[in-house]
Amino acid sequence: MRTLWLNKGEDRRLRAGHLWIFGNEVDGKRSPLSAFSPGEAVTVRDARGGIIGSAFVNPHSLICARLYSRTPDTELDAGLLRQRLQAALALRTRLFDQPYYRLCHGEGDLLPGLIIDRFGDHLTLQLGTAGMEARREAIAACLDELLHPASLLWDNDLASRSLEGLSRENVLSGPVPRRLELPENGCTFTAPLLDGQKTGWFYDQRVNRLEAARYAQGADVLDIFCYAGGFGATAAARGARSVTFLDASPQAVELAGANAARNAPQLTGDAIRTLCGDAFDLLRELHDSGRRFSLICLDPPAFIKRRKDAAQGLAAYRKINALALQLLSPGGVIASCSCSHHLPADELRHCLGQAAARRKTALRLLFAGGQGPDHPVHAAMPETAYLKCFIAQRAD
């Protein structure tokens, strides 16, 4: 394996446990990035020759190398892939009694750029780096050995793949179902595997959905950016009086309504409502019509996808939280989430506090959560702790 040399002083963050190496941290004279092939394995050394570890390289990406081992001259071959995936599987088997979870979470499982969601016999994979793309066949072979899946969906429609110079066309292996059923928190959901958002289901919110549902008994629930209805349908199953789903996607609200009806057959007629359109506009219309809700679940898409969009994205979070809080009845509960890792948790909490102050009311925080344990956070990489969830009660 060839050597990737670092500039003086650029090893400190890596020795503290971080896995990413940026282009401006590389000594371009001793190891010009243009000399490496995308996905090539290298040994990383500091300016004095000290060992940092082994990584795969992509000279075309801002994150030009990602460490996967702390030992030199270590290939990310079938043996190491199998070892890491076995460890990831062992953790999930301890956490869940059914095979429905995120099986591999990139850096959190020491496999940078590899995401695998498991839906029983079906797996959805995202390869976000050239290093993982170069090892696609080895990954498939390891999964076949460990799990014997019925199908693999290589979900390549990722912005990160464009940054890595990779194709974004999806690839199917085996009979990938368009929709499938999955269990979660005592409910059964239908999820869109082939044409859904991300990998088809947001397993990361499992714990937060159950926590929010603690306040569902007798509540009128509003599920904003509902997707397939994870929050609202769980609340319906826990005794909500009514549930309203809101999303811009017709497919999402159709699935959400069906999932609620399936898990809460006691809700009939107008007790389950769906609204399709722009969330900001619909929330204003609901307010103007006098609608109020005693449990609101707000799970927007990432308004801040890049650091340079932070100011604009923060304004969107402030606005959507303010609009939602206008609809919360006295004593009601709101679950407010963000999946933007560029938005610190304190900023989201501040958005809620500001919105309450403008309405001359107060919120008492009941719960602060993040992503579920099948989405492990790398302790040395704050970037991997992306999901925030605050549950608060209107205190007046």
Q: What is the residue whose two structure tokens read 């289901």? A: 201
Two structure tokens written together for 319: 């606005």
Q: How far apart are CA 279 and CA 340, in angstroms?
A: 18
Q: Active-site residue numbers?
A: 339
Sheet holding 293-298, edge to edge: 272-276, 242-247, 220-224, 293-298, 328-338, 388-394, 363-369
Query: Residue 312's closest CA among 276, 342, 337?
Result: 342
**Alpha-carbon gap, residue 46 to 76, rounded angstroms:** 21
CA gap 210, 208 in Å, rounded? 5
Tell me how far CA of residue 374 lies from CA of 95, 131, 134, 153, 390, in angstroms. 8, 23, 25, 19, 20
Encoded amino acid at 274, one letter: T
Q: Quote the strand ranges of the chain, DSSP E.
A: 2-5, 20-22, 41-45, 51-57, 63-69, 100-105, 114-119, 122-127, 151-154, 171-173, 179-184, 187-192, 220-224, 242-247, 272-276, 293-298, 328-338, 363-369, 388-394
